[in-house]
Every structure is written in C-alpha cells, then in structure tokens.
Amino acid sequence: MRELKDEYIHKGLRKQLVDLLRTKGITDETVLNAIGSIPRHFFLDSAFDRIAYEDRAFPIAADQTISQPYTVAYQTQLLQLKKGEKVLEIGTGSMYQTSVLAAMGVKVYTIERQKQLYDLTKRFPFKTEYPNIHFHFGDGFEGIPEEAPFHKILITAAAPKIPEKLWEQLKVGGKMVIPVDESDSTQRMLRLTKKKDGKEKRESFDEFSFVPMLEGKSQQ
Ligand code: SAH
C-alpha cells in the first residue's frame, strides 16, 4: 500500500480546481469546501499524482472511472444536502464522490457491484477519516431496504430508467439525482422530488456521459 501524502503542490492544484469549478457555475460553497478538502490524488494510481486535479474522469480498477470533479460537484450541488441526512449512493467506484458526501456531514450508504472495487475501498486507509460511510457490496437497483427511507439518493452510473425500488426507498420530500439514458452515449441529469402523494416532481438539467448502471453483481 503506498503512503498517502497531501503536499503543498496538491493543495495548490486543488485550490485551482475549486476556482475552475466556480467559473463553470458551481456556487454552493459547502460543495466547493468539500472538494477543496479532499485529496483526489489519494483515489488514483500514483501515476496520476500530478494530473489528479485536472477536471477530467480517469480510469480506475475493473474498467470503471472516477467521475470528473465538475460532475461530482454538479450532482452534489443538486442534492441540496443538509447535515445529518441519510444519503444512498449507487456506484462507490473510487470512493471519491462518497468522500465528498461524507465531508458534508451526511450519513452515506454506498453500494458497489464490482467486488474488486468494493474490496479496494474497504481496505483504503483514507476511509478511516469518515466513520459516517457504510459500504455495501451488491446490486444498486435493489437499494438497501433495511436502511430506508433515505433523504437523498444519488446515482453515479447511467441508468436506463428510474429504478423503482430506489424510488420506493426515498422519503417524502426527498430528492433523487440520476443521469438517465437519452441516447446510446449520453444521459440527461434529472432531479426527482417525492411529493406527499408519492408522485414525482421532475427537473431536467444538463447532458452527461457516465459508465452504465448494470444489473446484478460481479464477483471478479
Ligand atoms: N462515484 C464514482 C463513480 C464511479 S463510475 C467515483 O467518483 O469514483 C460508476 C460506478 O458504478 C462503477 O464503479 C460501477 O461498477 C458502479 N455500478 C454500476 N452499476 C451498478 C449497480 N447496479 N450497483 C452498484 N454499483 C454499480
């Protein structure tokens, strides 16, 4: 396991990243503070040490990606988090987005379907910084019924449609942020709010490109 060091160079690059996110339209200071506090290079192979703060997605294990910082900031801003809320995240991946949520003082329940990634995050030393993260290996389409309802649900993979079981696990007044397939390669970011009658209020945002949300789990 390599040593994790957060040096001046990383802090400087991170500050530049936060400034860039501001110019791209991220305005929620609590989100910008969280991004400013999390060493993104910890979540990548050491070969990416200096480019970790570019606003790009990068490959991680199991043919998956760490989301672009702008996408992480965008989705997190749409969630309108309040301290202490219970948040369900689908797609732990590198655990970067998970850590941004945890840094904002919410209780995070995160699910990953790739055993290899789940095992890596379980062993990741940085996770001890955030005892408010609960890791699950499983199929995100199923959610975590025994922990429901959630105030917020975040999906970080391209969903073919709104997963019904996840919608059921959302509190009344709660919000789901989800990129839903619009074409073979792009998704529309949606924010769904659950109304008192159980119906949805739907808001549409920008177009993004995520790796697919797949059914079942992978043991490899
Ligand atoms: N938030 C992550 C993004 C990872 S990419 C990060 O910042 O690093 C999306 C992740 O979703 C991948 O790790 C993929 O394995 C996972 N995924 C896809 N379908 C899933 C499902 N049904 N349940 C749980 N995780 C899923």
pLDDT in tens, the chain (220 residues): 567 899 999 999 999 999 999 999 999 999 999 999 999 999 999 899 889 999 999 999 999 999 999 999 999 999 999 999 999 999 999 999 999 999 999 999 999 999 999 999 988 888 889 999 999 999 999 999 999 999 999 999 999 999 999 999 999 999 999 999 999 999 999 999 999 999 999 999 999 999 999 999 998 7
Q: What is the pLDDT of residue 59?
A: 93
User: What does the alpha-carbon distance between residue 181 and residue 173 come to, in Å, rounded to a whole number?
Assistant: 25
67 noted as active-site residue: yes
Is residue 3 in a domain?
A: no
Is residue 179 in a domain?
A: yes
The residue whose CA is least distant from atom 19 of ligand 1 is 213
Is residue 48 in a domain?
A: yes
User: What does the alpha-carbon distance between residue 90 and residue 57 come to, in Å, rounded to a whole number?
Assistant: 17
Assigned token pair, 121: 């995050």
pTM for the structure as a whole: 0.97
Q: How many domains does the chain have?
A: 1
Is residue 78 in a domain?
A: yes
Is residue 190 in a domain?
A: yes
3 CA from centroid of ligand 1 (Å): 25
The single residue of 37, 46, 67, 183 carrying the catalytic annotation is 67
DSSP bridge pairs for 204? 190
Residue 89, domain extent? 8-208
**Are 157 and 90 spatial neighbours (Cβ–Cβ below 8 Å)?**
yes
Is residue 219 in a domain?
A: no
Residue 160: cis peptide before it, omega within 30 degrees of 0: no
Which residues are within 8 A (CB) of 3 and not within 5 positions of it... i.e. 6 or more apart?
Answer: none
